[in-house]
Structure 1
């Protein structure tokens, strides 16, 4: 079965849904409900044998790049105001088809946000390369 990365982005995607409200404006109860939904999705995927991994990411970020053969890595803090997308977290799934990956992503996009309404978050669906160097199976 192919694996897919379902990448959640802070404010990422082609355009925001008209009801988009950033998480920074949600109440504690709304954030708790949202996180409970994420756990629900993980459990649903486990029960169907499609779960591989899930991680939520803190919005703090440090950008790092190669500094040269005799230099330390170059780092700078972020995020920057011009940054359009910042990874919020991901689900790694192992499903029968791309169609199923899209179904899971659409369901994940329905997570509750402000006022308990679906956030209509864009979810980036990326197939995992088979035979990639990092694959140690």
Structure 2
């Protein structure tokens, strides 16, 4: 089994569309979470707060610069995630295809690296 993160990515437009139908979206999402729990694949699921409440710490210069949200040039924002423990990448993709999402949204599927895959002491095995 491997862990995969399904990262919800949206725009101002998709977020507005979701909020316009929030009761329906929440009911559909609750059912989706229940389905994942019944299949015993759900490890965690969280939604993120409004990006206007966040900050960005930018390490582009000599000293980190902190900027309050919203972020002017951001085209997509992470809205939340589902963390699954499944047998294959394809299984994670199949769950991602079922995520309740509005038109224009994206779900990024990323495998979570195991501790023994992270380079130690200058070693590199090609995975991060």
TM bin, normalised by shorter chain, reads 0.7 to 0.9
The residue aligned with 1:15 is none
Return the structure number with greater helix share: 2
The residue aligned with 1:98 is 89
Structure 2: how far apart are the matches of 1:101 and 1:25?
25
* Count of matched residue pairs: 114
Say whether the 8 Å CA contact 1:37–1:112 is kept in structure 2.
no
The residue aligned with 1:9 is 9
**Which segments of 5 or more consecutive residues in structure 2 lack a partner in the other structure?**
119-128
Per the TM alignment, residue 39 of structure 1 is displaced from its structure 2 partner at its CA by 1.4
Alpha-carbon RMSD across the aligned residues, in angstroms, is: 2.6
The residue aligned with 1:127 is 111
| Aligned structure 1 segments of 4 or more residues deviating by more than 3 angstroms | 25-28, 65-68
The residue aligned with 1:77 is 68
Per the TM alignment, residue 80 of structure 1 is displaced from its structure 2 partner at its CA by 2.2
What's the TM-score once normalised by structure 2's chain length? Answer: 0.75
Structure 1: how far apart are the matches of 2:74 and 2:19?
25
Match of 2:56 among 58, 63, 67: 63
Per the TM alignment, residue 91 of structure 1 is displaced from its structure 2 partner at its CA by 0.2
What's the TM-score once normalised by structure 1's chain length? Answer: 0.70
Secondary structure of 2:97's aligned partner: helix
Say whether the 8 Å CA contact 1:59–1:86 is kept in structure 2.
no
**Which segments of 5 or more consecutive residues in structure 1 lack a partner in the other structure?**
13-20, 114-118
Secondary structure of 1:82's aligned partner: coil
Say whether the 8 Å CA contact 2:47–2:80 is kept in structure 1.
yes
Structure 2: how far apart are the matches of 1:63 and 1:120?
25
Structure 2: how far apart are the matches of 1:10 and 1:99?
23
